Structure 1
Amino acid sequence: MIDDSEYILVRHDLQTVAFYNVENLFDFYDDSRTGDNDFLPISVKRWTYKRYENKLRKLSFAISNIGKKETGKHPAIVGLAEVENAKAIQDLINYKHLEDCHYNYVHYDSLDERGIDVALIYDTTAFKVTHSEVFRIHLIDQLGIPDYTRDILLVSGFLDGEFMHVIVNHWSSRREGEKETEPKRMASSHKVSEIIANLRLENPDAKIIVMGDFNDDPSSNSMKQLIKTSNLYNPMETLRSFSRGTTYHCRQWNLFDQIIFSTNFFENTPDTFEFEMANIFDDDFLKLFSGSFKGTPFRTYVGKKYMGGYSDHFPVYVIFKK
């Protein structure tokens, strides 16, 4: 059998930048510093080495194919959400579908109550990291107690020789209600605006990419505020529809996963990247193929029931052309 992938034309003038909420990528070891009690071999979910390896296999295959139809190669940069620790990221990039992709990673442990973090993996032959740091969101719950969530990750570096900044996010969930939790996401939105303002103090023409699981749609107040305040463009606004999104809840599609960027990615300047296209990576292999939820993300778990899938989110990606 001939592997058609060998004959895909590699486009050296294109690079894919992606984001993927990988749904609780925990290793199977007990870590007192994280909330991993559900993800142990002895837990109700029975998170065993075999199940962990299956998830690594599936995620590594999915990541290796994001943008491949358009560029002929794996993504240069991938932001991740819901990773437990550096070991889980290292295991992912070492797995067979990614082991030849030259990926390294940037990760910091956060104080998130669930023990999950954001991270960035990148092809070291395409992206050279020069700086990284995290920013904490200071939230207080109704009792006046600190409410810890994921940090915001800033990574700066050179993509094929062009300097740019990537900001990775995973904003507070809607678990206690959309309106009740909106102030938390607005706080994160303001923090990102502040980060961008500081980057532009150093360089008014800074090229900036903001990605994440924002737990809000493009039309939500937090996203509209960020776009307006920081003069960004959101190519995801037109992607959500009645029958398409990145995550499915209460029989409704949402586009919580988005990649937005500074408007100077539209400038047609020699030897610099400009925006080519954006999309949801929702190939059929990532979907349930039967039942009442046919076409929705093939998840690892539904509640405590093991499904053996990829994630409860589809990845999103943007392609830039030089």
Structure 2
Amino acid sequence: MAFTFFPGKRQEDVCTIAFYNLENLFDTRNDPRKLDDDFTPKGFKKWTPKRYRNKLRKLSRTISRLGGKTSSHPPVLVGLAELENKKVIHDLLGMPALRKKGYRFVHYDSPDERGIDTALLYHPAHFSVTSSKRIPLYVDNTDGKRDATRDILYVRGDLHGEDLHVFVNHWPSRRDGETITAYKRLEAANTILKEMKKIEKDIRSPNYIIMGDFNDGPTDKSIMHLVAEADLHNPMGSLHTANSGSANYRNRWSLFDQILLSKTFFNHSAGHHSFAHAGIFDDHLLKEWHGRYRGIPFRTYVGKKYLGGHSDHFPVYVQLRYSKKVG
């Protein structure tokens, strides 16, 4: 599903920026520092090298195709969530669909107790990294103990000569209940807002891209707060309906996967990138084909049952059109 201004052809001046929750991309080795025992050959999931390679192949093909109907380039930036370590990123980029694309990545280990992190893939022909860091998210559980959750990944870089500030997120889950955990996601929004204020002390009207699995939808308090306080645009809002989203739980669609943009991306003058398109990449190859779950994301596991699918999330993306300077 997509919201678009394109005439339906691939264009040279269009670049794709995407986000994809990979649904537990673990390697098969047991890391004693992490709660990854389930994702080993003898673990609960019986996660074998064959299953691992199958998932890598499917994920890499999906990433390579993002935005391909309207852009002549592979995705310029791809934010990732639910990956275990640098090894799985190297393995992903080593698959045939991505091997010759030349992607590089930014990744930091996070304090998440299961060891799942975020990362940013970038295409060096279009984007160069000038700085990066992990931003800790300090939130406590209701019992007063620190929640060992994912950091926020911050990357600053140059996109075709234009300065860009990217935040990649995987906010605290709703596992213990939507309402009771809402304060954690609100704190995540405030953490980003604090970082933005630091940036804006030195830079006038920065270009922001804030992407991730926020575990909240476009109309939830944390997202509405972030959008309002930072004066952002959320092109994903119109994509969420009763029959569409990026994930489906108990026959209910959600759009927790989103990409938010600063309003600087509505500058259509030469030398700037402007917003052109937003979409959910819900290609039929990523869906269940039969039965009661027909049409929802074709996931890797349901409980301990191996299905062999891609992920329980569809990727989301935006596309920007670059207006070249004349002369």
Tell me the TM-score range normalised by the shorter chain. Answer: over 0.9
Deviations 1:95-121 (A, max 9, x none): 110011110110000101221001001
**1 CA distance for matches of 2:210 and 2:72?**
24
**2 CA distance for matches of 1:11 and 1:70?**
6
Aligned position for 1:42:
42
1:271 positional shift: 1.5
1:90 is matched by which residue type in structure 2? H
Where 1:222 maps in the other structure, the secondary structure is helix
Identity of aligned residues (%): 47
**2 CA distance for matches of 1:196 and 1:101?**
32
1:205 positional shift: 1.4
Where 2:88 maps in the other structure, the secondary structure is helix
**2 CA distance for matches of 1:291 and 1:119?**
34
Aligned position for 2:280:
280
1:175 is matched by which residue type in structure 2? R
**2 CA distance for matches of 1:278 and 1:198?**
29
Aligned position for 1:298:
298
Q: Which runs of 4+ in 1 moved over 3 A?
A: none
Where 2:180 maps in the other structure, the secondary structure is helix
Unaligned runs of 5+ in 2: 1-7, 323-327
**2 CA distance for matches of 1:83 and 1:202?**
33
1:175 positional shift: 0.6
Pairing 1:221–2:221 present: yes
**2 CA distance for matches of 1:128 and 1:266?**
22
1:10 positional shift: 5.4
Cα RMSD (Å): 1.1
- TM-score normalised by structure 1 residue count: 0.96
1:41 is matched by which residue type in structure 2? P
**1 CA distance for matches of 2:98 and 2:200?**
35
1:319 is matched by which residue type in structure 2? Q
1:304 positional shift: 0.8
Where 1:155 maps in the other structure, the secondary structure is strand
Aligned position for 1:63:
63
**2 CA distance for matches of 1:187 and 1:142?**
14
Pairing 1:169–2:180 present: no
Where 2:132 maps in the other structure, the secondary structure is strand
Aligned position for 2:265:
265
| Equivalent pairs, count | 315
Pairing 1:202–2:202 present: yes
8 Å Cα contact 2:132-2:153 kept in structure 1? yes
Unaligned runs of 5+ in 1: 1-7
8 Å Cα contact 1:197-1:230 kept in structure 2? no
1:205 is matched by which residue type in structure 2? S
8 Å Cα contact 1:65-1:73 kept in structure 2? no
1:74 positional shift: 1.5
**2 CA distance for matches of 1:131 and 1:12?**
27
**2 CA distance for matches of 1:142 and 1:226?**
23
**2 CA distance for matches of 1:32 and 1:120?**
26
8 Å Cα contact 1:132-1:154 kept in structure 2? yes
The change in CA–CA distance for 1:250 and 1:9 in structure 2 (over 3 A counts) is: closer
Where 1:59 maps in the other structure, the secondary structure is helix
**2 CA distance for matches of 1:144 and 1:178?**
18
Where do 1:305-316 residues align within 5 Å?
305-316=305-316
**2 CA distance for matches of 1:233 and 1:318?**
12
Deviations 1:121-163 (A, max 9, x none): 1111111011000111111122221111000000011112211
2:238 is matched by which residue type in structure 1? T
Aligned position for 1:5:
none
**2 CA distance for matches of 1:18 and 1:37?**
30
Where 2:278 maps in the other structure, the secondary structure is strand
8 Å Cα contact 2:134-2:154 kept in structure 1? yes
8 Å Cα contact 2:171-2:188 kept in structure 1? yes
